[in-house]
A and B are shown apart, each in its own frame.
Chain A
Amino acid sequence: MTLEKENTQVKNVLDKVTILYAGDSGDGIQLIGNQFTNNTALYGNDLSTFPDFPAEIRAPLGTLAGVSGFQINFGNSSIFTPGDLCDVLVAMNAASLKKNLSRLKKRGTIIVNTAGFDKKNLRLAGIDPADNPLTNSSLEGFKVHEIDITKMTRENLKESSLGSKERDRCKNMFVLGFIYWIYNRSLDSTIDFLERKFKGKQEVLQANLKVLKSGYHFADTSETFSNRFEVKPAEMQPGKYRNIVGNQATALGLIAAAHRSDMNLFYGGYPITPASDILHELAKHKNFGIKTFQAEDEIAGVCSAIGASFGGDLATTASSGPGIALKGEAIGLAVMMELPLVLVNVQRGGPSTGLPTKTEQSDLLQAMYGRNGEAPMPVIAAQSPSDCFEMAYEACRIAIEHMTPVFLLTDGYIANGAEPWKFPSAEALKPIVLKVKDARAEEDAPYLPYKRNEDLVREWAVPGTAGAEHRLGGLEKDKETGNVSYDPENHQEMVKIRAAKVNRIAKHIPKQELDSGTTSSKLLILGWGSTYGSIKTAAKELQSEGVDVAHAQIRYIHPFPENLGEILSNFDKVIIPELNDGQLIKLIRDRYLIDAKGLNKIKGLPFRAQEIKEEVLNHLK
Chain B
Amino acid sequence: MPEVLKEKEQKKLSAKDFASDQDIRWCPGCGDYSILKQVQSVMPELGIPKEDIVFVSGIGCSSRFPYYMNTYGMHSIHGRATAIASGLKASRPDLSVWIITGDGDSLAIGGNHFIHLLRRNFNVNVLLFNNQIYGLTKGQYSPTSELGKKTKSTPAGSLDHPFNPLALSLGADATFIARSIDREPKHLKEILLRAERHQGTSLVEIYQNCNIFNDGAFSTFTDKTNKKENSVYLEHGKPLVFGAELDKGIILDGFHAKIVSLKDDNVSIDDLWVHDETDRNKANILVRFFEDNATDADARPRPFGIFYQEERGTYEDSLSQQLEQEVELKGAPDLNKLLAGANTWKK
Interface residues of chain A, those whose CB is within 8 Å of chain B, are 38, 41-42, 44, 189, 236-244, 252, 255-256, 259, 263-264, 266, 268, 285-289, 291, 293, 295-297, 299-300, 303-313, 315, 329-330, 333, 337, 422-426, 436-439, 446, 462-475, 483-484
Contact = CB atoms under 8 A, between A and B. Distances in A.
A286 B324 CA distance: 9
B344 interface: yes
Contacts of A469: 50-51, 70-72
A425 B90 CA distance: 30
B76 A466 contact: no
Contacts of A464: 1-2, 4-5, 51-52, 92, 94-95
A439 B80 CA distance: 29
> Which of A237, A243, A287, A466 neighbours the largest number of chain B CB atoms within 10 Å of its CB?
A287
A423 B84 contact: no
B18 to A, nearest CB: 10
B322 A286 contact: yes
Interface string B57-83: 001000000110111111111001001
B150 to A, nearest CB: 31
B147 interface: no
24 contacts: A241-B347, A242-B341, A266-B91, A287-B323, A288-B335, A299-B83, A300-B86, A303-B83, A304-B84, A305-B87, A306-B87, A307-B91, A309-B87, A312-B1, A330-B77, A425-B339, A436-B3, A439-B4, A463-B95, A464-B52, A465-B4, A466-B49, A469-B50, A472-B73
A51 B189 CA distance: 60
B297 interface: no
B90 A465 contact: no
Interface stretch (B39-47, B199-207, B303-311, B326-334): B326-334
Given A295-B83, A307-B88, A242 B344 contact: yes
Contacts of A330: 77, 80
A44 B347 CA distance: 8
B51 A467 contact: yes
A136 B66 CA distance: 77
B11 to A, nearest CB: 9
B9 to A, nearest CB: 9
B101 to A, nearest CB: 13
A470 B90 CA distance: 21
* Chain B residues touching A, range: 35 or more
A330 B83 CA distance: 11
Query: Considering the complex of A and B, which 4 residue pairs feature the smallest CB-CB distances, nearest first?
Result: A304-B87, A307-B87, A473-B75, A307-B88
Contacts of A462: 2, 4-5
Given A240-B345, A311-B95, A423 B2 contact: no
Contacts of B327: 287
A64 B110 CA distance: 42
Given A296-B112, A423-B341, A465-B51, 11 more contacts: A296-B116, A303-B87, A304-B84, A310-B54, A311-B87, A330-B80, A333-B77, A462-B2, A464-B2, A464-B94, A471-B74
A44 B345 contact: yes
B86 A304 contact: yes
B88 A308 contact: yes
B339 A484 contact: no
Interface in B1-58: 1-6, 8, 20-22, 49-54, 56
Nearest to B331: A287
A437 B4 contact: yes
B51 A466 contact: yes
Given A240-B346, A424-B339, A471-B67, A310 B329 contact: no
Given A300-B83, A308-B87, A423-B339, A463 B346 contact: no
B338 interface: yes
Nearest to B92: A311
A329 B77 contact: yes
B113 interface: yes
Contacts of A236: 347
A44 B343 CA distance: 12
Given A330-B77, A474-B75, A474-B77, A463 B92 contact: yes
B267 to A, nearest CB: 47
Contacts, number: 227
B180 to A, nearest CB: 25
Nearest to B337: A426
B244 interface: no
A299 B80 CA distance: 8
Nearest to A285: B338
Contacts of B333: 259, 285, 287-289
Nearest to B95: A463
A239 B53 CA distance: 50
B77 to A, nearest CB: 5
Contacts of B77: 303, 329-330, 333, 474
B299 interface: no
B345 A436 contact: no
B340 interface: yes
Contacts of A465: 4-5, 51
A244 B343 CA distance: 10
A307 B51 CA distance: 16
Contacts of B83: 295-296, 299-300, 303-304, 307
A236 to B, nearest CB: 5
Given A304-B87, A439-B6, A475 B75 contact: yes
Nearest to A243: B343
Contacts of A304: 83-84, 86-87, 90
B295 interface: no
B212 interface: no
A189 B343 contact: yes
Contacts of A315: 87, 91
Contacts of B335: 255-256, 259, 288, 426
Given A242-B341, A287-B327, A473-B76, A438 B4 contact: yes
B17 to A, nearest CB: 9
B276 to A, nearest CB: 32
A426 B335 CA distance: 6
B174 interface: no
A308 B345 CA distance: 38
A251 B74 CA distance: 29
Contacts of B72: 310, 463, 469-471
B339 A266 contact: no
A288 B338 contact: yes
B225 interface: no
B159 interface: no
> Which of B70, B89, B90, B113 neighbours the largest number of chain A CB atoms within 10 Å of its CB?
B90
Contacts of B90: 266, 291, 293, 304, 307-308
A296 B331 CA distance: 31
Given A304-B90, A472-B73, A463 B51 contact: yes
Nearest to A484: B67
A259 B347 CA distance: 27
A300 B5 contact: no
B102 to A, nearest CB: 15
A469 B74 CA distance: 11
Contacts of A438: 3-4
B85 interface: yes
A473 B338 contact: no
A467 B341 CA distance: 44
A465 B70 CA distance: 13
A463 to B, nearest CB: 4
B193 interface: no
Contacts of B168: none
Given A255-B338, A303-B83, A241 B76 contact: no
B266 interface: no
A252 B338 contact: yes
Given A300-B116, A311-B87, A471 B20 contact: yes
Contacts of A259: 333, 335
A469 B95 CA distance: 13
B336 interface: yes
A315 B83 CA distance: 14
Contacts of A312: 1-2, 91-92
